[in-house]
């Protein structure tokens, strides 16, 4: 395992452009549950994908509001070592494409983030399109100015990915000579399709508790926090 971490550190040092692809396994160490584990976001809900759908928001906004505010918002959560190390590498020579909607990567100071599925704290009124603060949303999902329904700018089931984010992500992947997949089972589409745009010369490393079924990956099967703790030590020694 240490040999693989050392190989990764060597690849990071040599890389000209690194792209990270991250998921919920990064933010669990900040106290934010993942989605599909026994204690995850979906565990206590009979129909979580419907609750997080465009249809539910439109037809049952109160149910949608209750689900997301009770299960998805962790305003006191802070970035952990993984966020911080990825931010440092991105600010030096990389870019992050994340499935996470918690905003912790930007909170860690990462200046090169594509929030592929949006951000829970990017809130707006669907009637007037005005931005709304989280404090306002936490009080009521109706906009005080016009009674419109407030929503987070995240991709719900039944909605498409923002095309500008898709285009930026494809361009970043194509330009990378090192791609790192961290804390995700890499099964959610179209996110998992991004690898098809990689350069043939790009190296791909993955850090995840479960193995990832994708070609030509150097798999580091371990907890992401443990891996980044070791990686930081090795990078500092290089």
Q: Is 9 contained in some domain?
A: yes
7, 10, 52, 79 from 233: Cα distances, Å: 13, 13, 40, 19
Q: Is 14 contained in some domain?
A: yes
The pLDDT value recorded for residue 37 is 46
The pLDDT value recorded for residue 43 is 47
Average pLDDT by stretches of 10, the chain with 238 residues:
86 98 96 66 65 96 95 96 98 98 98 98 98 98 97 97 97 98 93 95 95 87 96 91
117 catalytically annotated:
yes
The pLDDT value recorded for residue 38 is 45
Q: Is 19 contained in some domain?
A: yes
The pLDDT value recorded for residue 36 is 53
Domain range enclosing 88: 1-32+78-117+160-238
Q: Is 192 contained in some domain?
A: yes
Q: Is 140 contained in some domain?
A: no
- In SS3 terms, the chain reads as CHHHHHHHHHHHHHCCCEEEEECHHHHHHHCCCCCCCCCCCCCCCCCHHHHCEHHHHHHCHHHHHHHHHHHCCCCCCCCCHHHHHHHHHHHHHEEEEECCCCCHHHHCCCCCEEECCEEEEEEEECCCCCEECHHHHHHCCECCCCCCEEEEEECCECCCCCHHHHHHHHHHHHHCCEEEEECCCCCCCCHHHHHHHCCCCCEEEEEECCCCCCCCEEEEECCHHHHHHHHHHHHHHC
Give residues with Cβ within 8 angstroms of 40, minimum separation 6.
24, 33, 34
CATH number at residue 113: 3.40.50.1220
The pLDDT value recorded for residue 41 is 59
**Which residue is catalytic, options 83, 112, 117, 143?**
117
Copy the structure tokens of residue 208. 């995840």
Q: Is 223 contained in some domain?
A: yes
The pLDDT value recorded for residue 47 is 73
Total domain count, the chain: 1
Q: Is 41 contained in some domain?
A: no
The pLDDT value recorded for residue 45 is 56
pTM passes above 0.85: yes
Do the strands 131-132 and 118-125 form a parallel or antiparallel pair, or are they unpaired? antiparallel
């Amino acid at each position: 395992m240490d040999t693989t971490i050392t190989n990764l550190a060597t690849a990071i040092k040599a890389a000209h452009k690194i792209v990270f692809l991250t998921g919920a396994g990064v933010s669990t160490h900040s106290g934010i549950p993942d989605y599909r584990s026994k204690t995850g976001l979906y565990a206590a809900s009979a129909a979580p994908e419907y609750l997080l759908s465009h249809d539910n928001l439109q037809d049952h906004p109160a149910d949608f509001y209750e689900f997301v505010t009770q299960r998805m918002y962790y305003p006191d959560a802070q970035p952990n070592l993984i966020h911080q190390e990825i931010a440092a590498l991105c600010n030096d020579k990389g870019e992050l494409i994340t499935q996470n909607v918690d905003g912790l990567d930007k909170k860690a100071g990462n200046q090169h983030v594509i929030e592929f599925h949006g951000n829970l704290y990017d809130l707006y009124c669907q009637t007037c399109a005005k931005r709304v603060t989280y404090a306002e949303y936490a009080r009521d999902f109706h906009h005080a100015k016009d009674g419109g329904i407030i929503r987070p700018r995240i991709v719900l089931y039944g909605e498409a990915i923002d095309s500008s984010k898709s285009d930026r992500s494809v361009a970043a992947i194509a330009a990378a000579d090192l791609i790192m997949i961290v804390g995700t089972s890499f099964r959610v589409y179209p996110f998992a399709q991004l690898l098809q745009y990689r350069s043939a010369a790009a190296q791909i490393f993955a850090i995840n508790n479960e193995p990832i079924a994708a070609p030509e990956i150097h798999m580091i099967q371990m907890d992401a926090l443990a891996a980044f703790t070791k990686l930081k030590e090795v990078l500092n020694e290089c």
